A = this chain, B = another copy of it.
Amino acid sequence: MKIALDMMGGDFAPLEAIKGVCDYLSSTPDPAHILMIGDETQLQPLIQQYQPAPGRFTVIHAPQVIGMHEHPTKALKEKQQSSIAIGFHLLATGKADALISAGNTGAMLVGALYSIKPIEGVTRPTIGAYMPHENGELGLLLDAGINADCKPENLEQFAILGSLFVQKVWNRPNPKVGLLNIGEEEGKGNLLAQATYPLLKENKLINFIGNVEGRDVFLDKADVIVCEGFTGNVMLKMAESIHDIVKRRNIHDDYFDRFEFEKYGGVPVLGVNKPVIIGHGISTAPAFKNMILLSQKIIDIDLIASIKSSFKKDA
């Protein structure tokens, strides 16, 4: 198993990426082989210093970097020797089994959609956001911002993708799927929610529990909550801001500590043909380690095959 990691992506790269790799390699039984993609002149001194387990990684030189604020499509096209572009090349040609980056999110999405491509039957791949439940679990909210305008069919697909992720990756059987809405009863909501409800209700691939509201996001009511990416993104950023406020106000609380979204690592692009993990720009070593572990799990359980089979015609 080979996992490609963009060593140059994120605010604290490549240092934190190296530290994350070292920690992963030394603490994981039977670890994956890590393809460290990045600028060799920056990576070698750090490798000398931190000494990742020999034989368990390969450095792949990438002389270019796509900056956090570069235009994704343009940058990917013009910087073919960037760590992200090389990463997608490795993934697309089967030389890597997963790709991870905490770099330019847009470039990662463009690469996932146009180089790796959506799974047949998936109209709109999606990325989610983890929402900490008060009972200690995590929920998955999707879409978290890449699909700002959605049709009912898109939300139905997010529900299937999210269910499979929670079931297979988090080992939670029969995950509860809720439709984000502004009322509890069927028939409530905006036109999109009203039209989505019957689709979810009749879909046999998911365990639909009905509408959930903004007040239910941090509760154990649903494992997966689906909405269009506009509301999802607003909610994610609002939750992140709660964490900032809690920190600024010096509040120490086990629950609110779990709002530190970067520590979860990253979220997969669900619905594309290979595992692609996008990390937070402020990822530190534990986040990089967690992203590698997540990739390993997704490959181990072959999540992609499960998704493909769910989206097969007559599935």
Contacts and interface: CB of A to CB of B under 8 A. Distances in A.
A213 B145 CA distance: 12
A53 interface: no
Interface in A212-244: 213-219, 227-231, 233-242, 244
Interface stretch (A42-50, A247-255, A276-284): A247-255
A107 B60 CA distance: 66
B231 A149 contact: no
Interface stretch (A94-102, A163-171, A186-194): A186-194
A199 interface: no
Contacts of A231: 230-231, 234
How large, as a class, is the contact surface on chain A? Answer: 35 or more
A256 B217 CA distance: 18
B245 A249 contact: no
B218 A241 contact: yes
Contact of A235 (B190, B238, B253): B238
A293 to B, nearest CB: 28
A148 interface: yes
Contact of A238 (B145, B238, B245): B238
A73 to B, nearest CB: 15
Copies per complex?
2
A228 B148 contact: no
A148 B217 contact: no
A182 interface: yes
A78 interface: no
A180 interface: yes
A148 B214 contact: no
A302 interface: no
A232 to B, nearest CB: 9
A137 interface: no
Contacts of A149: 190-191
Interface of A: 134, 145, 148-149, 180, 182, 189-191, 193, 213-219, 227-231, 233-242, 244-245, 248-249, 251, 253, 255-256
Given A217-B238, A245-B255, 11 more contacts: A148-B182, A148-B189, A148-B191, A193-B230, A214-B235, A214-B237, A215-B238, A218-B242, A227-B234, A230-B231, A231-B231
14 contacts: A148-B190, A148-B193, A180-B234, A182-B234, A182-B237, A189-B230, A193-B230, A215-B241, A215-B244, A216-B241, A217-B238, A218-B245, A249-B255, A251-B251
